Chain A
């Protein structure tokens, strides 16, 4: 799989940006941007995705370094949880009305 940045038409690689909005929360994907190197990517990410106090921490990762599940196999790949409602608390209804359960 090729990524923008790995070919001649995109001289700068693409980076995915993750922003932590406050301490104690996870970094969430905010978007992507182009930058020549990681340091510039972090600076650009600050300018592009945290102009209004959106974050206290930024991660950048080269898009080409992300391994994704095969989009065409989504049915089969994510099938196993289906039909296993007993993995959710809502499956157990007989305790309805019982407190602290």
Chain B
């Protein structure tokens, strides 16, 4: 999503305080306008965005693994084709987002390096394993569903390249959620064993999906600043509530239950109440002690290293072609 004139930043990532630039930035934010790569922006704004956008990109790229794992074993040709399209979309989403992050002056290789060295974070949801086919349904319905809830407001994020990437992503993401819902619906209406498989999977993914919105507002110190900058539009708890309100009726259509005995319609609030989440588990997984952290990173590292010769060969080929055309022009 880079625009041409963004590149100056790449060699000059440090922001020098500029009173006129700051005034212009404050004006843009106050008027709910978009900030573009060539505009002056506070260093903290830039850092927050680099962190958020690159984490988001990493999540898309790592997110290919739990599903890629099922492509060979998807139960029909149709399901295989759908799953491949979805995994390909995720690669695409990762690339849109890396491009957006690059407009902030962070080179692609640096981001890749931070990911495979374990320094950068990605969504903790992808550190859970996918042992059954029903998990492809749960990931689509719950994980992509939660992601859409998070991402739709990001289409209005104040940083232009990020917002534009999100518009494209959201358009494509809705197919992901629907196909997941359909997988679960078919299993739920299938044999007793298939129904049980769907229910068992939803039981495992429900809480981690709710935790995708991040810690409760009281424990989310950076949220207020992100909201003041119009990067974030709704708080973690608001989005989580919105998501619960959507999935409770959807679970009824599926004929499946959600593993939370405290879910109850609250007439007064006009929302569903739901139970406390186990945040200790969230922080454990986030710190890299989740069931699949090591596997995901190892896989990514191996893919990157084993792909090195392809990148080198392509670069060498391009260089030789350039030299040949120079020679031809000279002759």
Q: Which residues from chain A sit less than 8 Å from chain B, CB to CB?
A: 1-4, 7, 9-12, 14, 16, 29, 31-34, 36-37, 40, 47-48, 51-52, 63-64, 66-69, 71
Contacts and interface: CB of A to CB of B under 8 A. Distances in A.
A37 B311 CA distance: 12
Contact of A32 (B1, B89, B322): B1
B38 interface: yes
Contact of B2 (A36, A63, A69): A63
29 contacts: A1-B5, A2-B8, A2-B11, A3-B10, A4-B107, A7-B11, A9-B10, A9-B109, A10-B108, A11-B109, A11-B311, A12-B314, A14-B7, A31-B1, A31-B2, A32-B3, A33-B99, A34-B108, A40-B314, A48-B92, A51-B85, A51-B89, A51-B172, A66-B4, A68-B3, A68-B5, A69-B5, A71-B38, A71-B39
B324 to A, nearest CB: 12
B228 interface: no
Interface residues of B, number: 35
Interface in B73-96: 85, 88-89, 92, 95-96
Interface in B288-331: 311, 314-315, 317-318, 321-322
Nearest to B6: A63
Interface string B144-173: 000000000000000000001100100010
Given A7-B10, A11-B311, A51-B89, A37 B321 contact: yes
Contact of A31 (B38, B89, B99, B109): B99
A31 to B, nearest CB: 5
A72 to B, nearest CB: 8
A92 B108 CA distance: 52
If over half of A's interface residues share one DSSP class (helix, strand or loop), that class is named, otherwise mixed; here it is loop
A11 B38 CA distance: 23
Nearest to B85: A51
The 4 closest A-B pairs by CB, nearest first: A66-B4, A71-B38, A68-B5, A37-B318
Given A1-B7, A3-B7, 9 more contacts: A2-B7, A9-B107, A12-B315, A14-B7, A16-B4, A37-B322, A47-B88, A51-B172, A71-B36
Contact of B108 (A4, A63, A67, A69): A4
A4 B39 CA distance: 18
A68 B315 contact: no
Contacts of A36: 311, 314-315, 317-318
A68 B36 CA distance: 14
A1 B3 CA distance: 13
Nearest to A71: B38
Contacts of B119: none
B110 interface: yes
Contact of A71 (B5, B99, B172): B5
Contacts of A1: 5, 7-8
Contacts of B54: none
B102 interface: yes
Contact of A51 (B88, B164, B317): B88
B10 A10 contact: yes
B100 to A, nearest CB: 9
A48 B1 CA distance: 12
Nearest to A34: B108
